[in-house]
Amino acid sequence: MKENFVYRTISSCKFVLNTAWVISKKRVVLEFLHWIFVYVDWLLVSCVLIRFILDLAMKRTSFERMMLYVGSVVLLEALLELFSLFFEVYVKPITDVELYDGVNKMLYDKACQVDLRCFEDSEFYNEYMMAVSLAHVKLSDMLQGVCQIVARFSAMIAAAVIIYQMDHLAILFALFPILGNFVFYGVLNGRIFRMEKENIVFQRMADYVNRTLHLGEYAKEIRMTNVFRLLKKQYDGVIASIQKVIARYSLGNIILFCMFQYFIFLLPQEGAVLYSGYRVSVTGTMVFAEMAVILTVMNENTWILNEFVDAVMVIVKNGLYIEQTRHFLEYEPAIPEDQEGLMPQLPIRTVEFEHVSFGYKADGYVLKDIHFKIEGNQSVALAGYNGAGKSTLVKLLMRLYDPDEGRILVNGIDIREYQVKAYRDLFATAFQNGKIFADTVEENVLMGRHTTLEEDRKKVRQALKLADMSEEIEKQSLQEKTILTREFSKEGVVFSGGQNQKILAARAFAKDSPIAVFDEPSSALDPLAEYHLFENIKEYGKNRILFFISHRLSSVRDADVVFYLKNGRIQESGSHGELMERNGEYASLYRLQAENYRG
């Protein structure tokens, strides 16, 4: 276990050096030089210069010659200080930004590849949060720690040689800080990491409460209900849980910290004073000049050893976080975004589910034995109560997940054989829980798909017209260039839920794809607006395969085929008329909704 821990720490150090080298070679080289020069400076003053001056004084060297030597050392020190200043003031801030940019790009690229299933796994999500939380800071700190270790270790060896040359036994006092740091401080850091890991779940819960109080989308409910009391109760419970975890570790941490302080300061420094004092005043085997040099070097060496071990502990602690980052970046998704394969051939003639079953967790299926075939440009409606598996079915079709059992075929080919991005490009989508981004209306519609300025403008306007949103956009002074949300701009526009849903529909209308998927595109619309939207969806879907989900069954009447899902299975299928004639559950639900509308 100990070897494994050492191996993991070394692996994290290699990962940091390799990653930093790829992002900014200049930072790695100058970071090493900076810390080496820092301790060269320390050795010059604390060890070499003091001993040198005393030696010259004992040899009665001329004052002028002594000042020449001292001036040379001072000049060298000034040059080293200038380099350190250059690094700290100029190089480090610039390369910190480079590290921030480089690490986050790596994390963003990987986050875009992580399987959606992972975000529904709380354990994975906790590790993910640890991986991305201040990863660039941990990387910078650990790079600095590695450089410090190399420089400090070299300085300690040099200082130890100087002490040993003057007195063999004095070197023993350097062992106490090693014991204090590597034993007591090492155990202490391990306990602190375990404590923080236990608290991350509670911290996420506390962050959730904080977020709900900060975001405007929760403001109405908080002001109009007593939900704040509930949130405060949750928050108080979370804080109490965090305090319990801290209390469980506190006594042991205090004892370890006291032992750490005792071994790194009291024993080595006071011990060196008593030992050298004994030799000077009792045995007479040491002169005051030697005592001054030994105490100075011993004191400085104690601090540098403490700093060395502290750097090791920082590396160990940060290494545990970097390990999470490394594992996240090494994660291999089940559906790689860059997966190569066959290029889909147009036109899309068939879509087929062959006995498909799927579950988000291992303990149950959301869809079970789904089997159907769509031929030609048909419109397909998915109906059923909430939780029946309608949205999951279209997610499988778009290959956001892979089935646990069975196959999905497009043009008779298993969709897992297609190149992932090319396959997903077959779909124009409007999700029920789709998100509006803090950008222009145009970008929210095009979603990065640009051609020429004129073509883009024409496409956006046509899509907004189909979504029955063009009049509202034309009222805005900037029209398609209007910024949505006030996240970054006071001039931003905040639309209603229904209006945002129309923009999401326009996002699908703007994409000329052979398969269209509309997942509850009208859940926030009134019946009249919903009617107009579905009329336009039908018009848009004439020359393509169209899948749509709607909780209002009046919207599915004109679909070529209706699949009524219940408990993850296709309970009934056929045209609206056929299902009404069968007088099954679909017909009962349709009549119930119709009665409510008439009422």
Instruction: For residue 281, name the pLDDT band (cuts at 50, 70, 90).
Output: confident
- Separation between Cα atoms, residue 137 and residue 37, nearest integer Å: 23
Cβ 517 vs Cβ 397: under 8 Å: yes
Output 443 or 45, whichever has higher pLDDT: 443
Half-sphere exposure of 128 (CA within 13 A, CB side): 18
Q: Which amino acid is at 178?
A: I
Q: Is 431 helix (H, G, I), strand (E, B) or coil?
A: coil
Answer whether residue 578 shows pLDDT above 90.
Answer: yes
Tokens of 358: 């799927």
pLDDT at 2: 46
Answer whether residue 220 shows pLDDT above 90.
Answer: no
- Separation between Cα atoms, residue 339 and residue 367, nearest integer Å: 26
Other C-beta atoms lying within 10 Å of the C-beta of residue 432: 18
Q: Which amino acid is at 445?
A: V
Answer whether residue 26 shows pLDDT above 50.
Answer: yes
Output 49 or 271, whichever has higher pLDDT: 271
Cβ 308 vs Cβ 153: under 8 Å: yes
Peptide bond into 347 cis (omega under 30): yes
Q: Give the range among 115-119, 459-463, 561-565 with minimum mean pLDDT.
A: 115-119
Q: Give one DSSP letter per residue of 140-167, joined into a string.
A: HHHHHHHHHHHHHHHHHHHHHHHHHHH-
Answer whether residue 559 shows pLDDT above 50.
Answer: yes
Cβ 349 vs Cβ 411: under 8 Å: yes
407 has which bridge partners? 354
The stretch 370-386 carries a mean pLDDT of: 91
pLDDT at 59: 64
- Separation between Cα atoms, residue 253 and residue 246, nearest integer Å: 10
Q: Which of 175, 184, 141 is nearest to 301 (CA)?
A: 175
Biggest CA–CA distance in the chain, Å, is: 119
Helix (H) or strand (E) holding 242: helix 227-261
Domains in the chain, CATH or no CATH each: 9-167 (no CATH), 435-512 (3.40.50.300)
Answer whether residue 108 shows pLDDT above 60.
Answer: yes
Look up tokens 């999401």; give the residue.
504
pLDDT at 288: 62
Average pLDDT, the chain: 83
- Separation between Cα atoms, residue 42 and residue 283, nearest integer Å: 32
pLDDT at 222: 74
Question: Could you read off the pLDDT of 291-320 as tens digits, one per residue?
Answer: 766 677 666 666 777 677 777 777 877 787
pLDDT at 261: 78
Percent helix, percent strand, percent coil in the chain, to nearest 5: 65, 10, 20
Question: Could you read off the pLDDT of 445-488 as tens digits, one per residue?
Answer: 998 888 888 888 999 999 999 999 999 999 888 889 999 888 78
pLDDT at 356: 96
Cβ 174 vs Cβ 333: under 8 Å: no
Question: Could you read off the pLDDT of 144-188 as tens digits, one per residue?
Answer: 888 988 888 887 777 777 777 777 777 777 677 767 766 787 788
pLDDT at 399: 93
Tokens of 501: 């849903």
Instruction: For residue 78, name the pLDDT band (cuts at 50, 70, 90).
Output: confident
pLDDT at 1: 42
Q: pLDDT over 90 for what percent of the chain?
A: 30
The stretch 107-113 carries a mean pLDDT of: 83
Question: Could you read off the pLDDT of 500-553 as tens digits, one per residue?
Answer: 999 999 999 999 899 999 998 887 778 788 888 888 998 898 889 999 998 778
Residue 571 makes CB contacts below 8 A (sequence gap 6+) with 384, 564, 565, 584, 585, 586
Q: Which of 521, 497, 510 is nearest to 391 (CA)?
A: 521
Tokens of 294: 């030994």
The pTM of the full predicted model, rounded to 2 decimals, is 0.69
pLDDT at 48: 64
CA 312 to the chain's CA centroid: 25
Task: Report the phi/psi class of residue 399: left, alpha or beta, with left for phi > 0 and alpha for psi in -120 to 50.
Answer: left
